[in-house]
Structure 1
Amino acid sequence: MYYVNRQQIEIRLQFIPEIIRVLRSLQQTDPESPLYLFAEERALHLAVETVTDIGSYLIDGFLMRDASSYEDIVEILRDEQVVSPDLARPLLELVELRKPLVQQYFDLERDRLLPVAHALLEVLPQFADAVREYLEANG
């Protein structure tokens, strides 16, 4: 019998609309302002952590193979059919931003961030739906 920490997964799933709300409000802000830049970086970082936390809970709970990296978490979710290959692609792009956001924040390639931030408006709700569907189907 698996122990899937559904409560912790759901707490993180319920945080996704907040990330989306921030990303939408940023669209009304000057993209050159320091507030925009910092808020965009933080929203992306929180999106990365949310996706990888949920993925880790699923991997641990359903005894999937161990992940060797943040990117591998998304690849496992794809391989285990939690998310489709089409959804895995933008999630991988998101997760690949973790290192630059956390370790190379002083020298970010800003042009990489905006397309991912815009894509998340659709990707994160799809991810949440896919996770909930997977949990429902796998008891």
Structure 2
Amino acid sequence: MYYVNQDQIERRLNAIPHIAEGMREAAAAWKPTVACGFIQERALHLAIEVVTDVGSYLIDGFIMRDASSYEDIMDIIHEEKVMSKPVYDAFIELVRLRRPLVQEYYDWDRFALHPLTESLPGLLETFASEVRGYLEREL
């Protein structure tokens, strides 16, 4: 029997609508300013954290193989059929942004709209739906 912390997964999935809304607003009102850049950075960072947190809970709960990196978390949950290929492809690109956003923030271009900012909202919402569907099937 598996112990999957559905409460913690759901708490994180419930943050997705706010992250998606923030990204949509940032993209729609984009101006090459420091403030807009910081808003975009935070939304991208939160998107990374929510998908990797959920992935980690799934890996731990369903006793999947151990992940060695953020990309590996995405690989594992994709291999386990938690998410579709289009979501996986975008999320691999997303998690690769973690290092530039968190460790190399001094080099981040705050004056450019990152392409993921426009495409991620819908993909995050799809991910939430796919995770919920996976939990329903597997539990």
Residue correspondences, number: 139
Match of 2:44 in 1: 44
Distance in 1 (alpha carbons) for counterparts of 2:91 and 2:135? 19
More RCO (CA 8 Å, sep 6+) = 2
In the TM superposition, what are the counterparts of 1:1-139 in structure 2 within 5 Å? 1-109=1-109, 114-139=114-139
C-alpha displacement at 1:28, in angstroms? 3.7
TM-score, normalisation: structure 2: 0.94
Residue segments in structure 2 that go unaligned for 5+ positions in a row: none
TM-score, normalisation: structure 1: 0.94
C-alpha displacement at 1:112, in angstroms? 8.2
* C-alpha distance 111-79 of structure 1, shift in aligned 2 (>3 A): farther
* C-alpha distance 25-86 of structure 1, shift in aligned 2 (>3 A): closer
* C-alpha distance 38-116 of structure 1, shift in aligned 2 (>3 A): same
Distance in 1 (alpha carbons) for counterparts of 2:72 and 2:111? 24
The alignment's C-alpha RMSD in Å is 1.5
Amino acid of the structure 2 residue aligned with 1:93: E
Residue segments in structure 1 that go unaligned for 5+ positions in a row: none
Distance in 2 (alpha carbons) for counterparts of 1:67 and 1:113? 31
* C-alpha distance 103-93 of structure 1, shift in aligned 2 (>3 A): same
